[in-house]
Structure 1
Amino acid sequence: MSVVPWDVDATVEKMAGFVRDLARSVPWVELVVFHELAAPGVMQFSTPPSPQVLAGVQQSIPGPLSDRLCALARKEKRWLLPGSLYELEDGKLFNTAIVISPAGEIVAKYRKLFPWYPFEAEFTAGDEFCVFDIPGIGRFGLSICYDMWFPETVRTLAWLGAEVVLHPTLTTSGDRELELVLGQSHAITNQCYFVDINGVGPWGGGYSQIIDPDGRVVQRASGQETVVTEILDLDRVTRTRELGTLGMTQSLKNLRDSRVTFPQYGGEFARGEVFKKLKPEGT
C-alpha cells in the first residue's frame, strides 16, 4: 500500500477501505497484513512536516491509534496486522508491530529487534521474540524489516514453533532485491511460510512476496499498489518438516538429532518447540 504521507487519519481510512473491500469481496480471508509503519503514514528518508506531526504519531500501545485499528478489526471481524507503529514508552521510541484479533483485542506485540542503525537512530531496539497462536490454525511469528538480515531471528521464531513468519517491511533502497533472496532462504532453512510485505510508491519499493515451506515463491507483487491473497496450508509446514524439503531433505530433523553442540544455544537446541511434533529421522 502507498500511504498518505504523514497523515494518520487519511492513511488509516485507506487501510480500512482495503480491509472492508477484502471482507466483502473475499469473505473467507481471515488475516490482513500491512507493511511496516503503514498506519503512521511514514515516508522513508523524509522529514515530518513539523515536530507536532511527528509527536502525534508517537503514542503508547494501547493508545488512540491502536484503539482505532482494534475497532477496525472488530468491525470487520478479521485478524489484523496493521504493519507497525511508533510506540512511545517511558521516553523511548520503539518500532512495534501488533496483532489484533477479530474481537478487537491486541493478542501480540513485538518490538523490532534490529533498528536499521544509523538511519533509524531514533528507535530503541526491542529485546524479546514474539510468537502467537491463532486458535484452530497454527503458530505465527513476527519479524520487522531489518530483522530479516539476521538469520538467528527467524531461526529462533521457528525454534519457538512458528509455522508462518509475518514480516512487514518498508524498503525503498536497492537492497530490496537481496531481501527477496533472504525471504526464500528463511523459508527454506526453517521449513515455514515467510510472508514479506513491503510498502510501495516513493516510500516503499514494493515486491511483497509469500514463500512456501519449500522455498517456492507462491506470490510476488509488482512495485505498484495491489492486494496479494493466498491460502496458507499449515499442514504443508508439518509435511515439509516431517518428510523434508521437496520430500527429501529433512533438515530440521537432522539439526535436532545432530551431535553438534551450538554454543549460542547453550546445548539446548533440540528442546525447541518445533521439534516436539517431529518423528525420528527417516520417517
Structure 2
Amino acid sequence: MARTLPVAVVQQPPLPVADALSRFTDDVAGVLARFPQTRLVAYPELHLFGVESDEQLRSYAEPLTGRRVKALAELAGDLGIWLLPGSLCEVDADVPGAVFNTAVAFSPEGQLAAWYRKIFPWRPYEIFQPGDRFVVFDVPEAGRCGFSICYDAWFPEVSRQLAWLGAEVIINPVQTTTSDRAQELVLARANAIVNQVFVISVNAAAPLGVGRSLIVDPEGRVRVQADEATAAVLTDVLDLDEVTRVRKFGTAGLNRMWDQFTDADAPLELPLYQGRIDPARWKPRT
C-alpha cells in the first residue's frame, strides 16, 4: 500500500489576533473546498499572531490548555484533517515568565497530537525562550513528520536529529521578512539532501513575509515553490515511499549516508558535543 500524504501549504500574511480564529476557520474551509483530497494543511510561523510588538505577543500568549488550542483542535476534528496552524505564543505555568514559540499539530480526531517549542529563537531579535526537545509525530498510513521552526533550519543538528528519530517529512513554518530567505531556500534543499527527507518550508506572505514557500523531495529537488510575496496555496502529494527508495538506492542512485558505517567501525568522538557518533546507533529509527 502506497504511503501517500496529500498536503496543502498555505502562504499567507499573519492574521490580526482579534479575529484570527474566525478568519482562520473560514480560510481552512476554503482551502479544503478547493482541494478536497487534502489530508494535511500547514501554515506559516505565528500565523495567528499578526501583531506589532513584543508586548502584544506576550499579552496574547496562552497555555496549551487554553481557548485557542481548544478551538483549533475542534476545527481539525470538524474538518477531519491534520491541521498545522503555524506556531503559537505559549506560556507554561511550570516555567514562570517564559514565552515559547510553539508549533502544534492537531489530528483528524480533534486532538493535540504534537507540540514543539522552537529550540533556536532568532537572537537577539525574538523574545522567546528555547525549547528543550525534538518532536516527531505519526500520520497513520503515511509516515512520520517532524517539526522545526524558522531559524532552526540554520542548525543542521535539528534536521539530523529529527531524521534519526524517524521523520520522513520535516515541516518548517517560517516568518521570514528579510533578505536571507535566499539562504533559507538553500538550507531547505540541503537539509533534505543530507537527511534524505521531504522538507516543507512555509513562509508568510506580504506585507510582512517575503514568501517563496516550497516543498523539497528527499533528493533535494524542488517539487513546487510559491512566488516571492503573494498569497498562495501549494498542493502536492508526498509519496513517503520515496524516502525508503532514496535511502535504499542512494541520492542520485549513489550516496547512502545512513548506511555509511559497518560493524567494524569504531565510534567517532565529537568534541564539540562532548559526545560521539556510534555506528551501532547511526541508522534512523522506525
Same fold (TM over 0.5): yes
User: Deviation digits for residues 22-53 of structure 1, max 9, x if unmatched?
Assistant: 222222110000000011224xxx426xx5x4
Residue 256 of structure 1, CA deviation: 7.0
Report the equivalent of 1:130.
135
Counterparts of 1:93-112 in structure 2 under 5 Å? Answer: 93-112=99-118
User: Deviation digits for residues 165-192 of structure 1, max 9, x if unmatched?
Assistant: 0100100001000000000000000000
Q: Distance in 1 between matches of 2:138 and 2:214?
A: 22
User: Deviation digits for residues 260-282 of structure 1, max 9, x if unmatched?
Assistant: 614244343542561x56xxxxx
Report the equivalent of 2:268.
261
Q: Distance in 1 between matches of 2:192 and 2:268?
A: 24
Percent of aligned pairs with the same amino acid: 41
Q: Residues 119 and 101 of structure 1: is their aligned pair in 2 closer, same or farther, counting only changes over 3 Å?
A: same
**Structure 1: runs of 5+ lacking an equivalent:** 278-283
- Say if 2:166 is the partner of 1:172: no
| Aligned residue among 187, 202, 208 for 1:182 | 187
1:170 is paired with a residue whose SS is coil
> Hey, which of these two has a bigger chunk of helix by percent?
1
Matched letter for residue 182 of structure 2: E
Counterparts of 1:32-71 in structure 2 under 5 Å? Answer: 32-42=41-51, 46-47=52-53, 51=55, 53-71=56-74
Matched letter for residue 32 of structure 1: V
Report the equivalent of 2:81.
78
Q: Distance in 1 between matches of 2:269 and 2:280?
A: 10
2:109 is paired with a residue whose SS is coil
Q: Distance in 1 between matches of 2:230 and 2:280?
A: 43
Report the equivalent of 2:19.
10
Report the equivalent of 1:158.
163
| Aligned residue among 255, 258, 271 for 2:281 | 271
- Say if 2:28 is the partner of 1:19: yes
Question: Are 2:258 and 2:282, in contact at CA under 8 Å, matched by a contact in 1?
Answer: no
Matched letter for residue 140 of structure 2: P
> Hey, which of these two has a bigger chunk of strand by percent?
2
TM-score, normalization by structure 2 = 0.88
Residue 243 of structure 1, CA deviation: 0.6
Report the equivalent of 1:245.
251
Q: Distance in 2 between matches of 1:15 and 1:86?
A: 16
2:189 is paired with a residue whose SS is helix
Report the equivalent of 1:281.
none
1:227 is paired with a residue whose SS is strand
Matched letter for residue 35 of structure 1: P
2:146 is paired with a residue whose SS is strand
Report the equivalent of 2:235.
229
Question: Are 2:145 and 2:168, in contact at CA under 8 Å, matched by a contact in 1?
Answer: yes
Residue 136 of structure 1, CA deviation: 1.4
Report the equivalent of 2:9.
none
Q: Which moved more, 1:12-21 or 1:57-66?
A: 12-21
Counterparts of 1:186-205 in structure 2 under 5 Å? Answer: 186-205=191-210
Matched letter for residue 271 of structure 1: R
Q: Residues 273 and 100 of structure 1: is their aligned pair in 2 closer, same or farther, counting only changes over 3 Å?
A: farther
Matched letter for residue 87 of structure 2: S
1:196 is paired with a residue whose SS is strand
2:260 is paired with a residue whose SS is helix
Identify the structure with bigger relative contact order (alpha carbons < 8 Å, sequence gap 6+).
Answer: 2
| Aligned residue among 68, 79, 88 for 2:91 | 88
Question: Are 2:173 and 2:203, in contact at CA under 8 Å, matched by a contact in 1?
Answer: yes
